[in-house]
Amino acid sequence: GESVGLHLPTLSVQEGDNSIINCAYSNSASDYFIWYKQESGKGPQFIIDIRSNMDKRQGQRVTVLLNKTVKHLSLQIAATQPGDSAVYFCAEIQNTGTASKLTFGTGTRLQVTL
């Protein structure tokens, strides 16, 4: 049968407003972070990344902020559109020497209302 697990937290935002999605990561040794967008029934899509020696990076309509002191990552989406509705995952990457290992966070569902 289906496993019972945590339900994804949901963020509901009106079209045109800005969205802020937060993520807490676990490993202070992680040196690279990525935000992914996953639409229903599809694989994750790369949105933006940031290295641990940076605290902010901007893309087109998206900004990622990294606070290493509290191990917190956020994704800001400007002027949110209906097409932004999806589940967003942060992922931390640890370089283990032989290969980098990617660990996903729990995810947040973004619902854009008209």
Partner 1 sequence: GAVVSQHPSRVICKSGTSVKIECRSLDFQATTMFWYRQFPKQSLMLMATSNEGSKATYEQGVEKDKFLINHASLTLSTLTVTSAHPEDSSFYICSARTAADTQYFGPGTRLTVL
Measured at the CA of 53, the angle between CA 48 and CA 59, to 5 degrees, comes to 25
Q: Tell me the closest approach of the beta carbon of residue 81 to partner 1, in angstroms.
A: 21
> Which stretches of the chain bind partner 1, using CB under 8 A?
1-3, 5-8, 36, 41-46, 89, 99-107
Minimal distance, residue 114 CB to partner 1, in Å? 24
**78/104 with CB nearer partner 1:** 104
Establish how many alpha carbons lie within 13 A of residue 103's alpha carbon, considering only the half-sphere containing its beta carbon.
Answer: 14
Residue from 63, 112, 54 nearest 86 by CA: 112
Report phi then psi at 2, rounded to 5: -80, 140
C-beta neighbour count of 112 within 10 angstroms: 20
- Decide whether 69 or 98 has the Cβ nearer to partner 1: 98
Cβ nearer to partner 1, comparing 44 with 50: 44
Kindly state the smallest distance separating residue 36's Cβ from partner 1, in Å: 8
For the CB of residue 26, give the shortest distance to partner 1 in the complex, in Å.
13
